[in-house]
Amino acid sequence: MESPFKGDILKGKVALLTGGGSGIGFEISLQLGKHGAAIAIMGRRKTVLRSAVAALHSLGIPAIGLEGDVRKREDAVRVVESTINHFGKLDILVNAAAGNFLVPAEDLSPNGFRTVIEIDSVGTFIMCHEALKYLKKGERGQASSSSGGIIINISATLHYTATWYQIHVSAAKAAVDSITRSLALEWGTDYAIRVNGIAPGPIEDTAGVSKLAPEEIRSKATDYMAAHKFGEKWDIAMAALYLASDAGKYVNGNTLIVDGGNWLSNPRDLPKEAVNQLSRAVERKPRDSPVGIPKSRL
Ligand code: COA
C-alpha cells in the first residue's frame, strides 16, 4: 500500500533498528528509509542482515547491517558506535528484536523464561542506555521541546489480560511498556527525547504469527478475534512513521495499540498438547527459512 505520509518527513534522520532485518522490524526499516532516513540494522543473523541491506540499497536507501545480540552490552556499544562512525549521528532507535515461542508455563524452564526477558526487556534497556548519549541533542534540561531523539519500543498486547502459553513474553513485554513510560518521563523531561511503544496485534507473514498462530490454528484463532483478521506489517510501519515524525511531536510515554481492536478479545482453549508439539517443531526449523508447521507434527 502507498504511504499516506510525505516522502521527506524523515529526511536527514538516522535510524538504528534492532531486529530490523526481518518481519515487522524490516518493514519499519523499509518505511523509515523510504521517508528519508538512513538505516542501520542490528541483528544476529548475517544472511538476514545482508539481504535486508541489499533490499534497501536497491531502493536507494542508505543502509548498513551490524551483527550483534541485544543481550550483550558490548555488542550494543559496538553497534551504536558503528552507526555513529558510518552516518555521523543517531536520531531514532527502534527496539524490534524479540524472542518468542508457545509453551505452557509448567513446561517452560527458568532459562527459557530468562532468555525471552533478556532479549525483549533487558535488550531494550541496554540499547536505550547505550544510545542515550547520541539521542540527547542538548544539555540536560536545556533541550527545546522538539529537539531530542526518538525511541520506539515494539511491544505486544499479550499482557493486557493474560494469554495462554505466553507467560515469558507477557512478562517481558509488560516490562518493555514500563521501560517506555519510565524513560519517557526521565529522558523526555531532561532531554526532550520522545519514548513511545507500538503494540502490534497478530501480523501476517511474521515469525511471531508463524509461531503463535500457525496455519493449522489460524482459522480457529480468527473466529475469536474482534477484527476477524490479521494485520499487515505496513500497519505497524505507519504507526512507527507517525511516532518518529513531527506528526507525533506531542506524544510521549504512550504505547500505541495497532491491532484492529483484537486485544479486546482473546483466543481461548487452544489444545495444550498440540501447542507443545507445535512449538518444538517450529523451533527445530532453520531460522533463516520461512517457518510453517508440517501437519504430521500435530
Ligand atoms: N519451548 C520451550 N522452551 C524453549 C523453546 C520452546 N519452543 N525454545 C527454546 N526454549 C528454551 C530452551 O530449552 C532453553 O532453555 P533450557 O536451557 O532450560 O533448555 C532456552 O529457551 C534458551 O534456548 P536457546 O535456543 O538457547 O535460546 P536462543 O537465544 O538461541 O534463542 C529463542 C532464543 C528461543 C527465543 C529463539 O526463538 C529466537 O531467538 N527467536 C528470535 C526470533 C523470534 O522469535 N521472533 C519472533 C518475535 S515475536
Is 1 inside a domain boundary? no
* Residue 126 resides in a domain: yes
State whether the beta carbon of 280 lies less than 6 angstroms from ligand 1. yes
Instruction: List per-residue pLDDT tens for the chain, 298 residues long.
Output: 899 999 999 999 999 999 999 999 999 999 999 999 999 999 999 999 999 999 999 999 999 999 999 999 999 999 999 999 999 999 999 999 999 999 999 999 999 999 999 999 999 999 999 999 999 986 676 655 557 999 999 999 999 999 889 999 999 999 999 999 999 999 999 999 999 999 999 898 888 777 777 676 676 677 667 777 889 999 999 999 999 999 999 999 999 999 999 888 755 555 666 677 767 776 776 565 554 445 554 4
The cell numbers describing 267, all together, are 483466543
Give the distance (Å) from ligand 1 centre to CA of residue 164. Answer: 17
With left for phi above 0 and alpha for psi between -120 and 50, is residue 87 left, alpha or beta?
A: alpha
Residue 39 structural domain: 14-283
The whole model's pTM is what? 0.89
CA distance 179 to 121: 8
The answer as to whether 32 is a domain residue is yes
For residue 195, being part of any structural domain is answered with: yes
Report if residue 139 sits inside a domain.
yes
**CA 140 to ligand 1 centroid distance, Å:** 40
Domain membership flag for residue 298? no
- Among protein residues, the one with the nearest Cα to ligand 1's atom 23 is 112
The CATH number of the domain where 253 resides is what? 3.40.50.720
pLDDT at res. 142? 63
Looking up cell 481461548 gives 268
State how many domains the chain has: 1
Residue 296 lies in a domain: no
112 lines ligand 1 (CB under 6 A): yes
Query: How far, in Å, is the centroid of ligand 1 from the Cα of 121?
Result: 15
Which residues partner with 272 through β-bridges? Answer: none
CA of 75 to the centre of ligand 1 (A): 20
CB 58 within 8 A of CB 84: no
Residue 43 phi, psi dihedral angles, 5° rounding:
-160, 170
> Does the residue 7 lie in any domain?
no
Taking the mean position of all CA atoms in its chain, how far away is CA 13?
19
